[in-house]
Amino acid sequence: MAKFTLKKKEILSGKNQIAELFNAEKSLFCYPLKVFYKYGSRTDNNASKVLFSVSVPKKKFKKAHDRNLLKRRIRESFRLNKYELLNNIDDDRQLSLMFIYIGNKSENYQVINRAVFKIFNSFVKKI
């Protein structure tokens, strides 16, 4: 049985890794999320890494508690759906993801969860 965890080593960090992810220029979109991704050879033991730190723009959501709520919803949805994606990734490949919230209003968890699930399904179809 799979454990639905999100460990610190699975979270993308470091300026170089983030810059590589932006330079890859590959993205998927499903309202209210846009996902930048890089699918390449494995550099460490993790099959996937995720970045949440820049996921919600301060320009659209002025209050920190609104931004944090959306980040928690995205993180939780990823945590529960990540095995849908990881089961379809080759063992010698690594996936780096960055979720960006592009909606103008705060969406509930069901909308965000549905968007993450659709993005994962479309990514699986691509690979």
Locate the DSSP E strands across 10-119.
26-30, 33-41, 48-51, 93-101
CATH number, domain with residue 117: 3.30.230.10
Residues 29-57 as b or e (16 or more Cβ within 10 Å = b): ebebbbbbbbbeeeeeebbbbbbbeebbe
- Please indicate, yes or no, if residue 65 is contained in any of the structural domains: yes
Say what the pLDDT of residue 89 is.
77
Q: What pLDDT shows up at residue 117?
A: 94
Is 50 domain-assigned?
yes
Q: What is the pLDDT of residue 19?
A: 83
pLDDT of residue 11: 79
The answer to whether position 72 is within a domain reads yes
Q: Measure the CA–CA gap between 118 and 115, rounded to whole angstroms.
A: 5
**pTM score, whole prediction:** 0.83
Count of the separate structural domains present in the chain: 1
Flag whether 4 is in a domain.
no
For residues 50 and 127, what is the distance between their CA atoms, to the nearest angstrom?
Answer: 18
User: How high is the pLDDT of residue 53?
Assistant: 43
pLDDT on residue 124: 86
Which residues in the chain come in under a pLDDT of 50? 53
The reported pLDDT for the residue numbered 69 is: 93
Q: What end-to-end distance do the CA atoms of the chain give, in Å? A: 25
Which structural domain range is residue 15 located in? 10-126
